[in-house]
Amino acid sequence: MRRKKFYWLGLVIFVALTLAGVARVPLAESEDCAACLSQPLSDACTVIMVGKNASVDGSVMTTHTCDCGLCDWTFRYVPAADHAAGATRKIYHIDQFRTWPPDTGLKWERYKDDFTGLEVPEVAHTFGYIQGAFGYMNDMQVAIGESTIGCLKKMENPTPSAKFDITMLTLIAMERAKTAREAIKVMGEMGEKYGYGFTDTGEMLAVADPNEVWVFEIMPVGPLWTPESGKPGAVWCAQRVPDDHVSVCPNESRIGEIDLKNKDYFMASANVIQFAIDQKLYDPKSGKPFNWKRAYSPNEVSAVSSNGSRVRLWRFFDLVAPSQKFSPETPNMDLPFSIKPEKKLSVYDVMMMTRDKCEGTIFDPARGLQGGPFANPNFLPYGFELEGKRYNTSRVIGVNRAEYVTVTQCRAWLPNPVGGIVWLAWGAQDTSCFMPFYIGVTEIPRSFEIGDHWVFSRDSARWAFDYVDFHTQVLYSYAIQDVREAQAKWEKSAADKTPAIDEWATKLHQKDPAEARQFLTEYCLNNATNVINAWWNLGDQLLVKYNHLWIYDTKTRKRNPLRFPDWYLKLLVETNKLTPQPQEKK
C-alpha cells in the first residue's frame, strides 16, 4: 500500500508539472514556450508515401526509416489465426525504445510483462503480418510506416489510463484491417475508447493498401483523461494522399486545413475541432479555418532557420519537384501536404531516396571540414555546444542511426500473397542492402529475430550490416564505392528481378496458393541468406583492403598510400604550422 501511495503522489506531481508546461522540454526550445512540442523530433523517423499513379508500375509505396540508434531491431512473422467465439485480445504497453539483454529474453517475449489489464473482444480471424518495431504489412496488403510528430506538452497522457500506445495500435490494425480505411478506423476507435498515449505522444502513420495511402495522425488528450469521463481518449485526423501525388512525414505534423464533408479524403475523431476549442488552441470566432497541425503540433521553422536540423521536408520536395524550386527558407508549415512528382518513382528510386544526404546543397553534411578528409557525411550527426553556444548540423533523410529501413509495395493487380512486399534493409541506409519479403512468406530468417546493440553476434543479421558500416566510416569516400558495387549486385538485381518472380508466383498461385507461398518463402529466405553472407564477406574485404589506413590491393599484392585531398593538407599545414622541407640543390 505504501508503494501505491508513493506512486499516486508521484503521478500527481508529474501531472501538475505537465500542466504547468515544464515537463520534457525539447532541446532547442525555451522552457517558457507555451506552444512548444513535447520532445525534440529532429532525431526520429522519416516516412515517404507514393500514390499508385505516382509510381512507375502502379505500386502504392510507404517507407519507414527507424532512426533510433538504441532500440530493439528484431523482426518477426505473425501467422494468421482463427479464434473461438468469446475470446479476448490482451492489450500490452509496448515501449518503442525499451530493450532487454538477450539472455533475459527477446523483446517480443518480454513485452508481455507489461500487460495493461485491458482485454478487448477478439475477432474471429486475425491476419498474418510482418512486424518490427511496428506492424508493417498484413496478408491483405495493408501497410504502415511510422514517424513521431509530437504534440503540445499539456496534451501528453503518460498515465496508465491510456491503454494504447502507437506500436499496439499498429498490431491491432495488422490483425484486423482489410483496407487502409479500416485500419484507420480500428486504430482511431481503439484510441478514443481506451485512451492513447502512455509512452507515446503525437504520432503519424502512413497507412496504405493496394489502392491508396493515407496520413493518419493521433494525439493524446492530456493526463486527466479517464474512461469514466465519457470523452474520447484520443484526438485524430487522417488525410488521403492523391493517387498521382507523393508525400512525406519527417517528424512534423503534415495535415493542415481539413474538410470533413469530403469523406473520400478526410477522416477524423468526433472531437477533432471541439477539443482544440476546449483547450484554447483554436478560436472559431477568429474567422480562420481550423488547421490541424497549427492547433495541435505547431512547428514554426524552416530548413534555413533551423540550420538544417529540419531540412528533410524541404529536401523531399526539392527532390521530387526540382523545377518548382522550393526555397529552403519557406516555413515548413507552408510547404504543401503532397505534390505530383515530376517523374514517376520506381521502388528503387524510393530506396535511394531513403539514403539521401542533401548532396550538392548547402546542407550536405559531408561538405568541407565537417566531413573530414574522406567526405564522411556521418560525422557530427547531432548538433553540438561550444563556448555556451548551440549549433545545429543537418539532419538528413539518410541518417546513420537507423535500426532498419522498410519500403513497402502494395500492388492491386496481383493476388495478395504476391502483391505485397516489405523491402527490409538493416542498419544505416548508405551501407545496407534492401531485401524483399513477399507478404506470402510463411517465415523469416531466425537471424532477423535476434540481436542487440550491446552484444555482438554473428548469428544476428543486423550485425553483418553494422560490420560493413563500421569499416566504411573510417575511409568513407573510398569504402563507400565498394559498398555501392555490392548494393548494385544484390539490391538492384533483386528489384529488377521482381517482375519475373511475380509472374512465376502468380502462375503457381492460380494452381495452388500453398505452393506459391512455399516458392516465395524459399526465394526470400535464400536471397536473404546470400545477402547476409555477402555482407559479412564485404566487411572482411574492407578490413583487409583499408587496413592500417593504407590500400592493400589483393590482386597485385601491393600496398599503396591513401591520397588526402589538397584542401585538407593545406588546412593541416596552416593549423599545425608545418614548414616545407628544404628543396635539394641541383
The grid coordinates of residue 511 equal 494452381
Whether residue 142 is contained in a domain is answered as yes
Whether residue 413 is contained in a domain is answered as no
Q: Name the β-bridge partners of 452.
A: 455
Per-residue pLDDT, averaged over 142-171, amounts to 97
Whether residue 586 is contained in a domain is answered as no
Is residue 47 over pLDDT 90? yes
pLDDT at 584: 79
pLDDT at 382: 84
Whether residue 147 is contained in a domain is answered as yes
pLDDT at 43: 64
Nearest residue to 224 via CA among 11, 39, 34: 11
Percent of residues, the chain, with pLDDT higher than 70:
93
Is residue 19 over pLDDT 70? no
Dihedrals φ, ψ of 457, to 5°? -150, 125
pLDDT at 42: 52
CA distance 396 to 155: 29
3-class SS string, 479-525: HHHHHHHHHHHHHHHHHHHHHHHHHHHHHHHHHCHHHHHHHHHHHHH
pLDDT at 578: 94
Per-residue pLDDT, averaged over 473-484, amounts to 97
**513-545 and 493-511 helices, crossing angle to 10°:** 160
pLDDT band at 522 (very low <50, low <70, confident <90, very high): very high
pLDDT band at 150 (very low <50, low <70, confident <90, very high): very high
pLDDT at 167: 97
3-class SS of residue 478: helix
With the C-alpha atoms ordered 188, 194, 199, 202, is the resulting torsion angle positive or negative? positive
pLDDT band at 35 (very low <50, low <70, confident <90, very high): very low
Residue 4, Cβ density class (10 Å: 0-12 exposed, 13-18 middle, ≥19 buried) = exposed
CA distance 393 to 26: 16
The per-residue pLDDT of the chain, averaged, comes to 92
* DSSP classification of residue 287: S
pLDDT at 41: 53
CA distance 56 to 201: 36
Range of the domain at 169: 39-338
* DSSP classification of residue 431: G
Tell me: the pLDDT tens digits for 332-380? 999 999 999 999 999 999 999 999 999 999 999 999 999 999 999 999 8
Whether residue 459 is contained in a domain is answered as no
Cβ atoms 448, 130 nearer than 8 A: no
Whether residue 146 is contained in a domain is answered as yes
Per-residue pLDDT, averaged over 250-261, amounts to 97
The grid coordinates of residue 18 equal 505537465
pLDDT at 374: 96
Tell me: the pLDDT tens digits for 537-566? 999 999 999 999 999 999 999 999 999 999
pLDDT at 415: 98
The pTM assigned to this predicted structure is: 0.92
pLDDT band at 44 (very low <50, low <70, confident <90, very high): confident
pLDDT at 381: 83
Percent of residues, the chain, with pLDDT higher than 90:
88
The CA distances from residue 504 to 56, 71, 497, 501, 522, in Å, are 21, 38, 11, 5, 13
pLDDT at 22: 31
Tell me: the pLDDT tens digits for 190-220? 999 999 999 999 999 999 999 999 999 999 9
Is residue 389 over pLDDT 70? yes
Q: Number of structural domains, the chain?
A: 1
Tell me: the pLDDT tens digits for 88-121? 999 999 999 999 998 898 889 899 999 999 999 9
The helix or strand, by DSSP H or E, that contains position 115, with its residue range, turns out to be strand 115-121
Whether residue 229 is contained in a domain is answered as yes
- Cell 583487409 maps to which residue? 544
CA neighbours closer than 13 Å in the CB half-sphere of residue 303? 24
Provide DSSP, 199-239: T--SEEEEEE-SS-EEEEEEE---TT--GGG-S-S-EEEEE
Amino acid identity for residue 468 in this structure: V
Per-residue pLDDT, averaged over 234-245, amounts to 98
pLDDT at 102: 87
Nearest residue to 361 via CA among 401, 406, 328: 328
Q: Name the β-bridge partners of 203.
A: 148, 218
For residue 314, the Cα-to-chain-centroid distance in whole angstroms is: 18
pLDDT at 124: 98
Amino acid identity for residue 391 in this structure: Y
Whether residue 472 is contained in a domain is answered as no
Residue 323, Cβ density class (10 Å: 0-12 exposed, 13-18 middle, ≥19 buried) = exposed
Cβ atoms 21, 281 nearer than 8 A: no
Nearest residue to 32 via CA among 22, 40, 23, 41: 22
Is residue 240 over pLDDT 60? yes
CA distance 134 to 403: 12
